[in-house]
Structure 1
Amino acid sequence: MDPFLTALSGLAWTVVYVEAIRIGFRQKTYAMPMAALGLNFAWESIYAVDSLSAGVSLQGVVNLVWALADIAIVYTFFAFGRAEFPRFVTRTMFAAWGVLLFAASYAVQFLFMAEFGENSARYSAFLQNLLMSGLFIAMLVARRGLRGQSPTIAVAKWLGTLAPTILIGVLDDAPFILGLGILCCVFDLVYIGLVLWAKRDPGALQAEAGPGR
């Protein structure tokens, strides 16, 4: 069961990244919320090195594949992300903000490692997954549509977190992880519903709020 759930999570998140890369280049935007992208890239690159330095493992290989895919998403962020901000945000300001964001993401991951030791990977992963689940909903609302998003990303993201929730939260009997995983599942299902709604009725999110609404 463990290898199956690990492989399912790896495959599902790889689908998310491949679809995010495809949409990012096609629509000239970034397809993952920037804070989530920074934390993901830092987590995957750090734990790919950490896992593979102790020998080849399925999770280590999965982490490496994710980190390599993230490089392309990071490129779309720096190449196209400036257009998502107001005009007063210059390219220099945007680039500086991006560098600061990624530096802070690495700092957070190293702080987790220093504080929680061998449990740092799972704690930081599920906490940032919960943050990501909320940020995808916020991105849908902020962009008022499906630019940089798709049902494939929504469903694969849900499955990619559900599998390790079962693996760690249920099979390894980790209540904290199980609780975070359930919250992620709720937010992810809400996001799937919103994405399908926006796809069915593209104009729904474009409507301006009226007085008193």
Structure 2
Amino acid sequence: MTVSSLFIALCGIGWIVAYVDALRLGFKDKTYSIPFITLALNFTWEIHYTIQGYHVFGYHVSTIVNFLWVLVDIGILYTYFKYGRKEVKASTPVFYGQAFVFIILCSIIHHFTYQWLGIVKGALYVGFSINFIMSFLFIRMFYRRGGSQGQSLLIAISKCFGTFSSTILIGMIGSKTAGGINHHILYMGLIIFVVDLFYINLLVKDKKKAKTKVSALS
């Protein structure tokens, strides 16, 4: 296994762990654990680059990882459609209609970005942009829900680990396929890392607060 494949695998493992726990918590807490905007963007990105990746690279580790992400994301999307209605102030037809339209728009965005930037840069820039948005939306979700319902340290840490692995590869070590070291990805990845640490800190404090509350009542 090459260094590039190793870091791609580490990124894939980190995100798969985050996704699986998001799926588990979705059913446990009867909610959705990934903000819908980034969930839709991620899901359509994964489908698009699984298909394109297979056509260009065949059974490369990145193509396999993308395919595994798609499978878990189908389950997370199900939790959004099953439980998300109670959090979205819209009628049932509007709730499903706007979600469907947004998923279609995301697919169109990925298609044109791919046409414009190509498979590698398209996947990288859009993937990190989605990740960037997701970091801030996790914090928004925490404050909007007034706590960590549907969220966990495992999701936050695994996301942080997975993203930082790809930041190191693309932004510090450099990848031949990606055209060497990419400083734009490095800067974006470091911002994501800082925001993710802030989110992790929020969850740690919330967990301590909950333990203190339980101790006081017992």
> Same-fold call, TM > 0.5?
yes
1:77 to 57, 75, 80: 80
Contact 1:145 1:202 in 2 (8 A): no
Aligned equivalents of 1:30 and 1:186: distance in 2? Answer: 24
Corresponding residue for residue 64 of structure 1: 67
Corresponding residue for residue 164 of structure 1: 166
Which consecutive unaligned segments of at least 5 residues does structure 1 have? Answer: 205-213
- 1:107 CA drift (Å): 1.8
Q: Between the two proteins, what is the percent identity of the paired residues?
A: 36
Corresponding residue for residue 25 of structure 2: 23
Contact 1:151 1:192 in 2 (8 A): yes
Aligned equivalents of 1:68 and 1:79: distance in 2? Answer: 17
Corresponding residue for residue 150 of structure 1: 152
Which consecutive unaligned segments of at least 5 residues does structure 2 have? Answer: 175-180, 213-218
- 1:111 CA drift (Å): 2.2
Corresponding residue for residue 184 of structure 2: 176
Aligned equivalents of 1:146 and 1:187: distance in 2? Answer: 16
How high is the TM-score relative to the length of structure 2? 0.89
Structure 1 moving runs of 4+ over 3 Å:
none
190-199 or 105-114: bigger deviation: 105-114
1:10 to 9, 12, 15: 12
What amino acid is aligned across from residue 38 of structure 1 in structure 2? A
2:36 to 18, 24, 34: 34
Corresponding residue for residue 194 of structure 1: 202
- 1:64 CA drift (Å): 0.2
Aligned equivalents of 1:14 and 1:122: distance in 2? Answer: 18
What amino acid is aligned across from residue 34 of structure 1 in structure 2? F
Aligned equivalents of 2:87 and 2:162: distance in 1? Answer: 27
How high is the TM-score relative to the length of structure 1? 0.91
Corresponding residue for residue 135 of structure 1: 137
SS at match of 2:168: helix
147-156 or 112-121: bigger deviation: 112-121
- 1:3 CA drift (Å): 2.0
Q: Count matched residues.
A: 202
